[in-house]
């Protein structure tokens, strides 16, 4: 299952702190943001207007949960502004 999931730490002008992007099968699933606080992570799901070939909108619950677990682990113990 994990071979289907990739997590990338990123930052951009729209986020004050770094965030984790979760991809499944090479397509964007969600991002995990530290915008509210390091201890209160927020899941951001893809909105409308994205190129649909680059987004995955439906996955089995186990894969979604594992992606979130991996993203939390990737952000844990990182300075939020890196």
Q: Digits of tens for pLDDT over the chain (82 positions)?
A: 688 999 999 888 887 888 999 999 999 999 998 877 777 889 999 988 888 889 999 999 999 999 999 999 998 867 665 5
Judged by phi (left if over 0) then psi (alpha if -120 to 50, else beta), residue 81 lies in: alpha
Please report how many Cα atoms fall inside a 13 Å half-sphere around the Cα of residue 36, on the Cβ side. Answer: 7
pTM: 0.85
């Amino acid at each position: 299952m994990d071979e289907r999931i990739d997590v990338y730490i990123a930052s951009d002008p729209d986020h004050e702190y770094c965030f984790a992007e979760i991809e499944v099968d090479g397509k964007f699933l969600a991002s995990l943001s530290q915008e509210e606080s390091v201890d209160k992570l927020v899941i951001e799901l893809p909105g409308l207007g994205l190129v649909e070939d680059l987004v995955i909108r439906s996955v089995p619950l186990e894969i979604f949960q594992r992606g979130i677990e991996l993203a939390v682990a990737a952000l844990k113990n990182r300075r939020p502004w890196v």
